[in-house]
Structure 1
């Protein structure tokens, strides 16, 4: 069973995503802020991370960059999400995530993207 760490500060959206993923046989660790993310990654060992860029009191872009610089987390696929940034902005900022979903996104698109990334060899 694939493990997905979902970092999202909107409790309603987090709940919907968690329910959707669990219904599709993913093991989910929901996280509402990025503060403990590296401890959670070490303990939960996710196969993929789904993370909002705009987190309450934190910048998901900075967390993403830190994920990419650490040898133990650099190879984990990351899907960034946000309602405030276009895909062009993400590319200009060199936030080379494995995927980017602009909110609002269709849940079917999220599932397809996760399936694609989890099939790719590491």
Structure 2
């Protein structure tokens, strides 16, 4: 079973994503914890759904760091945000993009595509 880690500072978003995905994936969620890197290593996800705006953390910087480390570069990263961003540069550093608000089918199809 593939593993999905959700890193988002909004508890409601984390809970909704968990409910959508937990029937098909092992799901673990984090808020904007300073120990995010250790928790990623401990859970060893196949996919991370990563909010760009995490309060005191920068999701884009986290994505770049994960993709630059030999031990984490294989992890697929789906960036997500409700803010307006130029998606071209985001698509270059991530494996997918999910705009908030999102619908259930979009989430399921995107995670399935990336996990397969």
List, as ranges, runs of 4+ consecutive aligned residues in structure 1 with deviation greater than 3 Å: 92-95
**Structure 1 unaligned blocks of 5 or more:** none
Q: TM-score, normalized by length of structure 2?
A: 0.92
Distance 1:57 1:109, change over 3 A: same
Cα distance between partner residues in 2 of 1:98 and 1:92: 12
Q: How many positions carry a matched residue from both structures? A: 116
CA RMSD of aligned residues (A): 1.5
**Aligned-residue offset at 1:85:** 2.7
Question: Who is 2:106 aligned against?
Answer: 109
Q: TM-score, normalised by structure 1?
A: 0.88
Q: Quote the offset at 1:102 in angstroms.
A: 1.2
Q: Cα–Cα, structure 1 residues 20 and 36, in superposed 2: closer, same or farther, change >3 Å?
A: same
1:5 aligns with 2:2: no
Give unmatched runs, 5+ long, in structure 2: none
